[in-house]
Structure 1
Amino acid sequence: MKTIVLLIVASLTATSVVAQTIKPMPGMATKAAKTGNGSGIVKALDPKTAKVTIQHGPIAALAWPGMTMAFVANPPTLLRSVKVGQRIDFTAQVTAAGPTITAIKRR
């Protein structure tokens, strides 16, 4: 029984050491963030958290149906150009941080 436990512990330790030595390889392609354009109405703004809530139509490039959702604005200064209730066109990306707005234009 001790032998089996020791073998399991040794194998788990060995795999974690190998995983720690793996490093990113320069020159290898990384996946680009998915990007899509949409239009909608600003429902809420939160400059402190750089978030904007938009009721938007379908965004085919992201396979999103029409819905109301919050986005992080990157850069946060994008929020200065819009107000609640305004119709907008925007560019959104799906990033590790979640849905992100990268461009906003009032209509």
Structure 2
Amino acid sequence: SRWLKNQFVIRMHHRLSDAALYEIQESFADLRLSGKYHQQADSGAEHEVGNYSHLTRLTFAFNGRDQGRLRELVDFINLPENWAKPQPMHTTQRAREALKVS
């Protein structure tokens, strides 16, 4: 995690499901100063190097005070049932193969 332009950024190995993101908006609203939680891919604004540029980010205006509550948010993020289902690779591959012209 890190601060970037008044936003707190949590890097995640797994994208959150829509239901989990909604639950975060509702249940962890007390951690935000304003706005909403935003889930996004690397925007390029961070100029990430190394092993972090591929990670999904959860950004929000953190109040900077409630560290214990922030830990609860991290624990919620780390629950596998809150992760988005990965898209099957084989359907994408089949779609590409169908586009090939002989």
Q: Return the TM-score normalized by structure 1.
A: 0.23
Structure with the larger RCO, 1 or 2 (CA within 8 Å, 6+ apart)? 2
Higher strand share: 1
Q: Which has the larger radius of gyration?
A: 1
TM-score where L is the length of structure 2: 0.24
The structure richer in helix per residue is 2
